[in-house]
Structure 1
Amino acid sequence: MPQASIFIVEDELIVSEDLRQTLEDLGYTVGGVAHSGEDALAGIGSALPDLVLMDVRLAGAMDGIETAGLIRDRFGLPVIFLTAHSDKANVARAKLTGPYGYLLKPFSDRELHTTIEMALSRYHLDLLTREKERTIRVLANAIPDPVMLLDRRLKILAANDAMVHNLRTDRPDEWQTPVFLPENSGRYAALLPRIAKALSTLVPGVFEEQEGDTWYEISLFPVAGPDPEDPLLLIQYHDITARKRFEEELRTGGLSQIEQNMEQFQILNDEIRNPLQAILGYVNMDCRKHQGDIIEQVRAINNLVHRLDHGWIESGKVRQFLIRHYLEEVHPGRSAQKES
């Protein structure tokens, strides 16, 4: 297994050489040595080590803390601070750079080795976590529907690109304000009772809601968070406007088709019944030899007409049902007008 490469940033030549020897004795590879922040940035960009040992006080325009911040931003590498001073001001500044260790001089070889190994292990875990986060984000953004994860205080913990577009902001600091509030144009305020119920019962919910000309199917999925007593809520918006329009067309179009069928039933009924009456008249006048057979066939046709009548009546019932069930749902009050 290859040994880790360590880059040293130390402005005192004797100290840096002693540190190089110690690292090599511990089995590490020294990827480079720099005596100023500017030289460190140039050398690290070429060497790309696994870890940086950074003296807090450096000669030059930048101190070690400022240099460490730039290393984090440019290269994302772990930094361990080495210093003879532990004043609160420097410690507070150093913490802002996200260091992987802070060693006070003088330190033993064992302390140095332990701190480096802990830092490398933590950095490896951080890389795995970032990779998982990237994978989750790719998967979330593969979903065309807006999706977001909320905590119990209604603050956004995560959102895919579609939801970020809906929220009209990609600034995580703005997410810290609960989104389901009247000052947010009241857009999500209607969801509050449903969200409260989902978080209290931990039962998923699905419902439909209209926003302007757009219809959404909104799904609420309670999920376990780090604290079992503090569940999170996944919210998904699915655009169902096209489906709603199709349903409306089907309702109105289906009713129109039934009315046309009813008219055809009536026309067909009349076209068959009138010739039957004429045939019966002719039979009574003549054709006594085949009168029985003709009458039998006429009765068969007459039965067909009765069946058509029954179908017409049943179609009327269906028509009335559609008027009551659908038109009243979509256009309140229209069913009474239609039936009259």
Structure 2
Amino acid sequence: MAGNSFGQLFRITTFGESHGVAIGVIVDGCPAGLPIDIEYIQAELDKRKPGQSKITTQRKEADTVQILSGTFEGKTTGTPIAMLIPNEDQRSKDYSHNTDVFRPSHADYTYFTKYGIRDHRGGGRSSARETAARVAAGAIAKLLLKTQGIEVLAHVSSVGKIDAPNISITNAQEFETIREANIVRCADPATAEEMIARIDEIRKQGDTIGGKVSCTITNCPVGLGEPVFDKLHADLGKAMLSINAVHGFEYGSGFTGSEMLGSEHNDIFAKESDGSVKTLTNFSGGIQGGISNGMPIEFKVAFKPVATIMTNQNTIDAEGNNAQIQGKGRHDPCVVPRAVPIVEAMAALVVADHWLRNKGSKL
């Protein structure tokens, strides 16, 4: 199956299935000499792992990462970094009812039609379980970016029709502390309580709900992005849309910008007292002409409601006959709380790749 690798200079390849022995990732192109903090990588995985709270799936996975290669005495060697995450709590019997039945809005039908075979146990390769490998790789990308002072910070900004106010990030550690203090990972505590109550209400109904994750990349230097086809926002968009359940991506003013006048939307340049160039507004989302302009890079990612619901639905089987299916097993009523570290990971992978690519942009 093609499409398992992402990035050019900082490149990852993931492998494994939801109910296989393990999932994992190969990170190639990471510069030598980067200190690797295994506890940091594990902490990132812990934010994504299942079974965290009443509003996430109750599948219990420790998601304990093992680094198999590419490091020596705590630093990267410049060779491929292999990481393995064992699967420990598979319940394949939970999926025996849909061996030959296609779940609505899942990848069952498309995978089966494309390949002539599919792993019905939790979706196999199409499962969001695969994203744990991305988070592990993204943690290394984040460690690389931190050496340059670049921070990637996301939070849940909406659940259904409940929207958090815009959050201004002035201190990365303070932002993360506030976000991690609640189980929905919203950086506005008052809105977080509303979101948690709404998700729990939907869960008890046997239904699911969607939401949005907002992400900000701070201290990104000017010049990242490779026109014309590898624009920075284009690669960020591809990265986000590759995440399971993502149905929308917008950066800067996004779709709202289409309703504005040019005189309202243009970001006016200004020179600061320290000689740096800023813009008075940031409708461009920190990117102009596909290249970072030094302002915070801001974007939002929209997640659909989880496709598995605990009520009967009409569908068809592999023979094309009418059938019915009811969701079983352990599933998230809302994916966005666990999606925050995935969004950060994919953003970090994009920026790390472009940071390395930009090294050769001029003499």
> Larger % of strand: which?
2
Per the normalisation by structure 2, the TM-score is: 0.22
Q: Tell which has more relative contact order, 1 or 2 (C-alpha 8 A, sep 6+).
A: 2
- Flag the structure with higher helix content: 1
